Amino acid sequence: MTDKNEEVVEEQVVDDEATTQEVEADVDDLQTDVDPRQSQIDELTAKVTELEDKLLRSQAEIQNIQQRNARELQSIRKYDGQRLATSVLPAVDNLERALAVEADDAVAKQIKTGVEMTLKTLTQALTDNGIAATGKVGDTFDPTKHQAIQSVDSDEVEVDQIAQVLQKGYTLQDRVLRPAMVAVAK
C-alpha cells in the first residue's frame, strides 16, 4: 500500500506542479492584459492633466482680458470729454481776452456783460465735467502742469513759484489737456 500511496502522492505532486504552471500562465496572461490597460490609463491620465492645465490657463487669460477691458472702459469714461474740452479752450481764452478790454460806452458795457455771462456759463460747464484751470500766480512751478516761458525777478513770489500766467493751463481729472504758460520767479 505504500507504493500506492507513493504513486498517489507522486500523481498529486505532478498534478500540483501542472496546476501551478497553469496558474502562473494565467497570472502572466492577466499581467499582459493589465499592462496595456494600465498604459492606456496612464495615457488618459496624462491627457486629463494636460487638458486641466489648458483649461486653467484659458480661464486665467479670459479673466485678464476682462480686467483689461474694464480698465480701458473706465479710462474711456474718465477722459470722455477730452477732445471737446481741448476744442473749447481757445474760446475761453478769447472770452477772457475780451473781458480784459476796458468798456467806455453803454453798448460796450452791455457787450462786456454778455461776454462775462457766456464765459461764466462755459467755465461752469468745464468745471462740471472735471476740467480745471491750472497755473495761478504764487503756485509752485510743476513741469508736468506748467510750461516755463521765461524767468523773471520778482519780490511778490518766492523762487520757483509762478510770477505771471501768460496762458492758463487745463487738466481733465488727472490728465493735462494743456500746460499753463508761465513766467517763473528766479
Helix, strand, or coil here: 63? Answer: helix
At residue 153, φ and ψ (nearest 5 deg) are -85, 135
Architecture, CATH, for domain 79-185: Roll (2.30)
Return the pLDDT at 22: 75
What distance in Å separates the CA atoms of residue 127 and residue 7, rounded to the nearest whole number? 117
Q: Where are the beta strands (DSSP E) in 37-179?
A: 131-134, 146-152, 162-167, 169-172, 175-178
- The set of cell numbers assigned to 16 is 500540483
For residues 147-173, one letter each, b for 16 or more C-beta atoms within 10 angstroms of the residue's C-beta and e for the rest, the string is: beeeeeebeebeeebbbbbeebbbbbe
Return the pLDDT at 82: 81
**Pairing mode, strands 180-185 and 146-152:** parallel
For residue 99, the surrounding DSSP H or E stretch is: helix 82-100
pTM recorded for the entire structure: 0.58
What distance in Å separates the CA atoms of residue 179 and residue 171, rounded to the nearest whole number? 8
| pLDDT one digit per residue (tens) for the chain, 186 residues | 566 666 666 666 666 676 777 777 766 666 665 567 888 899 999 999 999 999 999 999 999 999 999 999 988 887 777 888 888 888 898 888 888 888 788 888 888 888 999 999 999 988 888 899 998 998 899 999 999 999 998 888 888 889 999 999 999 888 899 999 999 998
